[in-house]
Amino acid sequence: MALDHPATTPAQKPVAVPANPRFSSGPCAKPPVFSLDKLSDAALGRSHRAAVGKAKLKAAIEETRAILGVPAEYRIGIVPASDTGAVEMAMWSLLGARPCTMIAWESFGAGWVTDAVKQLKLDATVMTAEYGRIVDLATVDFDTDVVFTWNGTTSGVRVPNGDAIPADRAGLTICDATSAAFAQDLPWDKLDVTTFSWQKVMGGEAAHGMLILSPRAVERLESYTPAWPMPKIFRLTKGGKLIEGIFVGETINTPSMLAVEDYLVALDWGKSIGGLPALMARADANAQAIFEFCDARDWIANLAEDPATRSNTSVCLKFTDPRIADGAGFAKAVAKRLEAEGVALDIGAYRDAPAGLRIWCGATVETADIEAMLPWLDWAFHTEIAAQADAA
């Protein structure tokens, strides 16, 4: 009997395995040079306000500035509650002064929309795109305050560049760049607030967020007082003036000095391999290996429809084989097989995203590990197709 789709037999199990099977999108793989003894210089048991603690916090800020090329006149602060803390702090402190536009094309951006509309009760213009697509920034009114995510971690869709953001905008741009920073070029002149967490591209620990403010964002902070109460951990001003200490390492509350040390180790590694260009090149090479794998197969595709918007960090894939009856079940089964073999950990799609896989390709991941893992994906796919046929 002729089949609509040619049958495939299970591919042979590969022999080579990735040296590091950690492809989680956060917390992400530690830098390749990482070992716990690298943290032995941590200022443990010391006050973060003592000279030694303060110096480390200040170094984390200044090394971040050096690697990311953040302009000298921009403030960089270490704030509580990881990227979420940094984004919420910016939204609560800055929004409400003028009309605002909330943009989302995946789960985290959608969370910020909910906060602006339901919690802050702002009459925001909401612009959304389905998973795999992006809102065209050329259609956005940048005379409003605009909140958006640079790299949608749960859809694998990224802003290709900042060209559509006008230099002479009247509003502020508030950008959640947590899965973009250190892997993608961020145009600082187009971003008034940029946030990220240590746990993503640099493979640091979560807990602390980074908040980068342009002079225009500082001007807003000093000229506008929101109508709502401000919890202590969101407070960036005192008596109408910016609390400058936050931006030289005097954190609002107690940081983990172990996490700080770990971030310093990661930054040091980033610097040692050549800084931002090298970090971006590593993510590009990792993602490219997966793009090529997909291009050569008719059963798997990038969730990002437009190649210009394909993420080089959180690469999201969907299975396109018409023989697959239950998309979510199939993707879960493939991820489970790979995990059971110890060749790819934590690569199931995000819980709110379309069924599929999400493979982290940030700078701490070795291209050799991606290349060693991909034949296993071939094997797991064919094995699962065969299992499905057997069960039918």
Residue ranges in contact with ligand PLP by CB under 6 A: 26, 82-84, 108, 149, 153, 176, 178-179, 197, 199, 206
CB of 253 to ligand PLP, least distance (A): 16
CB of 74 to ligand PLP, least distance (A): 20
Instruction: Look at residues 85, 83, 135 and name the one whose alpha carbon lies nearest to residue 105.
Output: 135
CA 370-286-29 angle, 5° bins: 70
DSSP summary character for residue 349: P
Q: Are 86 and 210 in contact (CB under 8 A)?
A: yes
Cα–Cα separations (whole angstroms), residue 262 to 135, 267, 342, 371, 373: 36, 9, 26, 28, 27
Instruction: Look at residues 57, 61, 79, 78 and name the one whose alpha carbon lies nearest to residue 70.
Output: 61
Question: Rounded to 5 degrees, what are φ and ψ at 171?
Answer: -85, 175
**Residue closer to ligand PLP (CB basis): 324 or 359:** 359
User: Which token pair is 14?
Assistant: 């590969």
Cβ neighbours of residue 288 under 8 Å, at least 6 residues apart?
Answer: none
**Residue closer to ligand PLP (CB basis): 112 or 330:** 112
Name the residue with tokens 């270490």.
78
Q: Which residue is nearest to ligand PLP (CB)?
A: 153
- Pairing status of strand 125-128 against strand 100-104: parallel
Helices (H) and strands (E) in the chain, counts: 8, 14
**Residue closer to ligand PLP (CB basis): 225 or 254:** 254
**Residue closer to ligand PLP (CB basis): 149 or 286:** 149
Q: Are 317 and 294 in contact (CB under 8 A)?
A: yes
**Residue closer to ligand PLP (CB basis): 18 or 26:** 26
CB of 107 to ligand PLP, least distance (A): 8
**Residue closer to ligand PLP (CB basis): 153 or 194:** 153
263: left (phi over 0), alpha (psi -120 to 50) or beta: alpha
CA 371-277-257 angle, 5° bins: 90
Per 3-state DSSP, the chain is made up of helix, strand and coil in percentages (nearest 5) of: 40, 15, 45
**Residue closer to ligand PLP (CB basis): 154 or 214:** 154
CB of 359 to ligand PLP, least distance (A): 14
**Residue closer to ligand PLP (CB basis): 178 or 194:** 178
CB of 324 to ligand PLP, least distance (A): 27
Q: Residue 203 and residue 206: Cα distance in Å, rounded?
A: 9
CB of 205 to ligand PLP, least distance (A): 10
Which residue type is seen at 197? S
**Residue closer to ligand PLP (CB basis): 82 or 194:** 82
List beta partners, residue 126: 102
Q: Residue 236 and residue 242: Cα distance in Å, rounded?
A: 6
Which residue type is seen at 220? R
CB of 199 to ligand PLP, least distance (A): 6
**Residue closer to ligand PLP (CB basis): 133 or 337:** 133
CB of 176 to ligand PLP, least distance (A): 5
CB of 47 to ligand PLP, least distance (A): 25
CB of 60 to ligand PLP, least distance (A): 16
